C-alpha cells in the first residue's frame, strides 16, 4: 500500500469537510473518489498534495508520513479540474518550468519534452499559449505536466469534467495507457459514476465528507451497503419500491423482465436508446424504471417480474443494507 490516509479530519471554519477519512491505494491501483459536488473530494486531494493541511490524521506515501513535507517536495503529479496551466507561458514553457525549477539539464529537458509532446500528440501546439488550445489539448498539456513530475502518486481532480461526452470517451483509454496501472497509486476524483466504473479498480463513494462505501465497481453495483450507494451507482437509477414493514426494497431496472405471470403495470413513457429501451411504468408497488431489449414490442398494459435474489433490502430508517 503506497498511499495511505488514516483518520483524516479537516474543517473549514465551523464546517466539517472531511470526517475520519481512511483510504489506502496500492501501487498501480486506481481508486476513484466518487460523490456529489461539495462532498470533499477536492479537499482530500489537496491534503494528499500538501496544498492544505489536515487538522488530524496521517498521510503516508511509501510508508513515510508526509504531513510535515511541504507540497513542493512531496512529488505528486496532479491534474487540476481547471487544468491550472500557466496562462503567460506557451505549452513548451509550461512543461519546462517545473523541470527547470527542479534543476534538470537543458539537453535532458528538451528530450523529455519533445518525447512527451509526441506521446500526447501536441507537437504542433508546442509554441501556442493555453488560451489558443482546445479543451482536449489543454487537458493533455495538464497530463503531460503531471507525467513529467516523476511523481510517487497521481492525483486527478475531475480531469474530464470540462470536456464534452464524446471527447471524454476518447480520452479514457489514453488516460489508462499513460497513468493508470503503472507503478504509482492513482486517486481519481469524479462525480460521474460511469467514469468511475470505467477507470477505477475500486470506488470510494463519498458523501458529506465521509466514505459511504469502498469497493470494486462490481461490489458497489451488486451489493450496495446503503440506499445512497444503490442510487448513485448504476444508470438508470435503481427502483425503490414502496416500503413495507420498515423495509425498503430496491430493484435495478435491468433486473426486471417482461413476464406474462408477473405484476401488471401501465406504461407511462418510453425512451428508445437503440440496443435497449427504458420504460417508465406505474405498478401497485410504485413507479418503476425498466430496461429491456430495444426491439421488444411494448403495449400499454404489460406484466413484469424479477427474481427475489435480485432484490436489495434496506432498513427504512438507517438506509443500511439488511443482510440477505
Ligand X SMILES: Nc1ncnc2c1ncn2[C@@H]1O[C@H](COP(=O)(O)OP(=O)(O)O)[C@@H](O)[C@H]1O
Q: Assess 37 for contact with ligand X (CB under 6 A).
A: yes
> Nearest-CB residue to ligand X?
42
Please, which of residues 137-196 interact with another protein by CB under 8 A?
145, 149
**Cα atoms in the 13 Å half-sphere on the side-chain side of 2:** 18
Selected binder of another protein within 70, 135, 173, 243 (CB under 8 A): 70
Shortest Å, Cβ 189 to ligand X? 7
Q: Which is nearer to ligand X, 37 or 299 (CB)?
A: 37
Q: Which residue has the cell 413513457?
A: 269
21 vs 304, which CB is nearer to ligand X?
Answer: 21
Q: Which does 107 bind (CB under 5 to 8 A by kind): another protein, Mg ion, ligand X, none?
A: none
* Residue 50 interacting with ligand X (CB under 6 A): no
Q: Which one of 3, 25, 31, 43 is in contact with ligand X (CB under 6 A)?
A: 43
Q: If binding is defined by CB under 6 A, does position 38 make contact with ligand X?
A: yes
CB closest to Mg ion, residue no: 42
**DSSP helix/strand/coil, 210:** strand
**What is the smallest separation between the CB atom of 214 and Mg ion, expressed in angstroms?**
19
Per CB under 6 A, does 138 bind ligand X? no
For 236, the grid coordinates are 438508470
Shortest Å distance, C-beta 288 to another protein:
44
By CB under 8 A, is residue 84 in contact with another protein?
Answer: yes
Cβ neighbours of residue 106 under 8 Å, at least 6 residues apart?
A: none
Cβ(288)–Cβ(304) below 8 Å: yes
The phi, psi pair for 317, rounded to 5°, reads: -80, -50
For residue 197, what are the CA distances in angstroms to 80, 194, 219, 319? 21, 5, 11, 23
Q: Which residue has the cell 413507479?
A: 287
* All residues at 6 or more sequence positions from 42 whose CB lies less than 8 Å from its CB, including other chains: 81, 157, 189
Contact residues for ligand X, defined by CB under 6 A:
12, 17, 35, 37-43
Amino acid at each position: 500500500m503506497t498511499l495511505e490516509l488514516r483518520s483524516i479530519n479537516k474543517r473549514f471554519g465551523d464546517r466539517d469537510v472531511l470526517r475520519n477519512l481512511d483510504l489506502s491505494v496500492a501501487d498501480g491501483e486506481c481508486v476513484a473518489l466518487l460523490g456529489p459536488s461539495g462532498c470533499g473530494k477536492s479537499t482530500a486531494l489537496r491534503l494528499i498534495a500538501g496544498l492544505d493541511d489536515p487538522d488530524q490524521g496521517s498521510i503516508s506515501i511509501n510508508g513515510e508520513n508526509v504531513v510535515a513535507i511541504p507540497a513542493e517536495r512531496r512529488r505528486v503529479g496532479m491534474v487540476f479540474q481547471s487544468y491550472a496551466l500557466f496562462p503567460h507561458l506557451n505549452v513548451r514553457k509550461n512543461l519546462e518550468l517545473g523541470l527547470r525549477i527542479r534543476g534538470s539539464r537543458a539537453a535532458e529537458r528538451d528530450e523529455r519534452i519533445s518525447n512527451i509532446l509526441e506521446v500526447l500528440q501536441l507537437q504542433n501546439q508546442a509554441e501556442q499559449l493555453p488560451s489558443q488550445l482546445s479543451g482536449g489539448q489543454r487537458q493533455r498539456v495538464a497530463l503531460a505536466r503531471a507525467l513529467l513530475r516523476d511523481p510517487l502518486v497521481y492525483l486527478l481532480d475531475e480531469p474530464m469534467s470540462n470536456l464534452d461526452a464524446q471527447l471524454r470517451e476518447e480520452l479514457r483509454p489514453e488516460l489508462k495507457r499513460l497513468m493508470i496501472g503503472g507503478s504509482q497509486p492513482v486517486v481519481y476524483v469524479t462525480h460521474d459514476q460511469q467514469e468511475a466504473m470505467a477507470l477505477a479498480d475500486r470506488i470510494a463513494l463519498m458523501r458529506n465528507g465521509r466514505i459511504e462505501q469502498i469497493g470494486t465497481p462490481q461490489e458497489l453495483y451488486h451489493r450496495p451497503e446503503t440506499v445512497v450507494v444503490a442510487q448513485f451507482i448504476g444508470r438508470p437509477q435503481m427502483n425503490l419500491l414502496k416500503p413495507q414493514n420498515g423495509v425498503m426494497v430496491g430493484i435495478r431496472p435491468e433486473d426486471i423482465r417482461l413476464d406474462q405471470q408477473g405484476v401488471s403495470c401501465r406504461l407511462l413513457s418510453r425512451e428508445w436508446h437503440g440496443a435497449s429501451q427504458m420504460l417508465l411504468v406505474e405498478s401497485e408497488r410504485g413507479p418503476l424504471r425498466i430496461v429491456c431489449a430495444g426491439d421488444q414490442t411494448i403495449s400499454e398494459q404489460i406484466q413484469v417480474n424479477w427474481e427475489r435474489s435480485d432484490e436489495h433490502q434496506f432498513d427504512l430508517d438507517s438506509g443500511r443494507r439488511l443482510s440477505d
